[in-house]
Chain A
Amino acid sequence: MLTERVRSVTPAPPHRGSAIRDVPLPDTAHDPVTFSVQRLSAWFGQQQVLRDVSIEIPGRQVTAIIGPSGCGKSTFIRCLNRMHELVPAARRSGRVLLEGEDIHARTVDPVLLRRRVGMVFQKPNPFPTMSIRDNVLAGLRLTRQLRRSKADAVVERALRQAALWEEVSDRLAQPGIGLSGGQQQRLCIARSLAVEPDVLLMDEPCSALDPIATARIEDLIHALRDEYTIVIVTHNMQQAARVSQRTVFLLMGELVEHGETDQLFTAPRDRRTEDYITGKFG
């Protein structure tokens, strides 16, 4: 039945070990909840953009964040890999646990956290002076040296995962900036995948792309969702309905409703969600 589909939360396979501290975590290895967000609030200076948001984001699923402009969608996902704190005068309160571990703990290295929780931005942002190959390896080289044979394997694997290998394998030395918009976005996804993250955060990854390039990215999300936890911010509700298994609706920094995507888009529980997704918002 359309509105009463029951889909059990697929338990996540054991993760690859904590990249935050680079040591395996003991008891949380089989925890199916990738993120546990507890009473998260965030500010830019005096302006509060997130208010007391608490939510569990399950592993190896796609979670879409929807809501009107300024509702705190991007800030929310930027809190998941501590990019929010890079903005001057930005602050937050509350806790974010990644497989049971507080990402704001003093022992956590934000650079290693961001390797484990990668991000793809609205506008494709390949490094303009780097080749396609070097763009893929850019994240890895921040933290380690690679042998050429190992680096070649990483490049091929990441580009294949990002469904780009067939299109660029004969021009890896050419600048990444020479690719089309859609290809550049997939190159950025390959760059994120090269560091073997557990989570991919996507901040409106298709908003600058044409329908064909968008379809490729959505197809890629389908291919990646069994292996990675994906959190995608999108203004396109049809896209959220197509690619995600769970959807979160934020309004003026507050979490209004979250649940199974099929249920939320056919029979939302909250009137505010109903008004937003049917286009009745002023």
Chain B
Amino acid sequence: MKATRHTDRAYESDLIQLRERLLLMAGRVEDMISRAIKALEQRDAVLARRTIITDRRVNRDEMEIDESCLIILAKRQPMASDLRFIALALKMVVDLERIGDLAVNICERVVDLAERPPLAPYPDIPQMADLVRGMLRDAVDAFVDHDDAKAQSVIDRDDLVDQLYHHTFREILHAMVEAQGHSGVERGIQLQSVCKYLERMADHITNLAEQVIFMVQGKDIRHAGKLDVRGT
């Protein structure tokens, strides 16, 4: 069916601007993940520090988008898909901002790790990061294209990230035991934290994808089948 536009062009423009701001913010966050992992792989403390500074811009995005949403709610009283879009935007910025914070957390670990010799090569960490980045890109594409199938594929990939996390966690644990020393344990914990941050990012991206499905279908799929409170 032919896409329709709002009769009120100023309203249409407000919604387009909000959508563009969300996309810019998501792009910045995706870039932060890439740079955090590159810094980890290349043991580049300078890049890590630069990436930490980028987070200020993401925080500002969050506040500006929140403000835009409140103004639209107050001025336009949106309905139906517009209302769901604003609700999505208000939640999406929280998840994006948290993902940005987690990228900062990774960078902080990189700054520390870069000063010490590497514990062991961990190909699973870049693989996890690639998966997470792909999930974020697809969640954002699903949002842009109103593609609920793509959003569902993002949700499905979260299990894979969880599996990789548990696997990598155990591998690092073995390396810590083999390293036999205070420094090995410390570096191992730092690396395990990096994995945990990536796993948490995937959870936030899963939230985004669930919100996209709500925006497209008007159907709340969160906690599906897990809200039965009997026996609690």
Contacts and interface: CB of A to CB of B under 8 A. Distances in A.
Are chains A and B native binding partners rather than an unrelated pairing? Answer: yes
A2 B220 contact: yes
Interface string B9-34: 00100000000000000000000000
Interface string A248-282: 00000000000000000111100101110111111
A278 B219 contact: no
Interface stretch (B74-82, B137-145, B188-196, B198-206): B74-82
Which of A2, A267, A282 has the most chain B CB atoms closer than 10 A to its own CB?
A: A267
A282 B8 CA distance: 10
Contact of A278 (B1, B80, B218, B220): B80
A22 to B, nearest CB: 44
Contact of A241 (B4, B79, B82, B219): B79
A218 to B, nearest CB: 15
A1 B220 contact: yes
Nearest to B219: A3
Which of A237, A266, A277, A280 has the most chain B CB atoms closer than 10 A to its own CB?
A: A280
Contacts, number: 47
Interface string B189-232: 00000000000000000000000000001111000000000000
A279 B81 contact: no
A278 B77 contact: no
B81 A274 contact: yes
Given A279-B6, A282-B7, A271 B81 contact: no
A280 B78 CA distance: 12
Interface majority SS on B: helix, strand, loop or mixed? Answer: loop
A265 B220 contact: no
B182 interface: no
Given A3-B220, A4-B220, A278 B5 contact: no
A46 interface: no
B72 interface: no
A241 to B, nearest CB: 7
Contacts of A277: 79-80
Interface residues of B, number: 19
B1 A271 contact: yes
A238 interface: yes
A270 B227 CA distance: 29
A278 B82 contact: yes
B84 interface: yes
A267 B219 contact: yes
A265 B4 CA distance: 18
Contacts of A1: 220
Contacts of A271: 1
Contacts of A281: 7
B114 interface: no
A280 B82 CA distance: 11
Interface in B70-94: 77-84
A279 B10 CA distance: 12
A243 to B, nearest CB: 15
A43 B215 CA distance: 40
A266 B80 contact: yes
Contacts of B6: 278-280
B111 to A, nearest CB: 43
A15 to B, nearest CB: 35
Nearest to B77: A238
A274 B77 contact: no
Interface in A8-30: none
Given A1-B220, A267-B218, A271-B1, A278 B78 contact: yes
A152 to B, nearest CB: 44
Contacts of B1: 271
Contact of B79 (A2, A4, A237, A282): A237
Given A268-B80, A278-B78, A279-B11, 14 more contacts: A1-B220, A3-B218, A237-B79, A241-B79, A265-B80, A265-B83, A266-B83, A266-B84, A267-B80, A267-B84, A267-B219, A271-B1, A274-B81, A278-B6
Closest 4 CB pairs of A and B: A267-B218, A280-B4, A277-B79, A278-B82
23 contacts: A4-B219, A241-B79, A265-B80, A265-B83, A266-B79, A266-B80, A266-B83, A266-B84, A266-B218, A267-B219, A268-B80, A271-B1, A274-B81, A277-B80, A278-B80, A278-B81, A278-B82, A279-B6, A279-B8, A279-B11, A280-B6, A280-B7, A281-B7
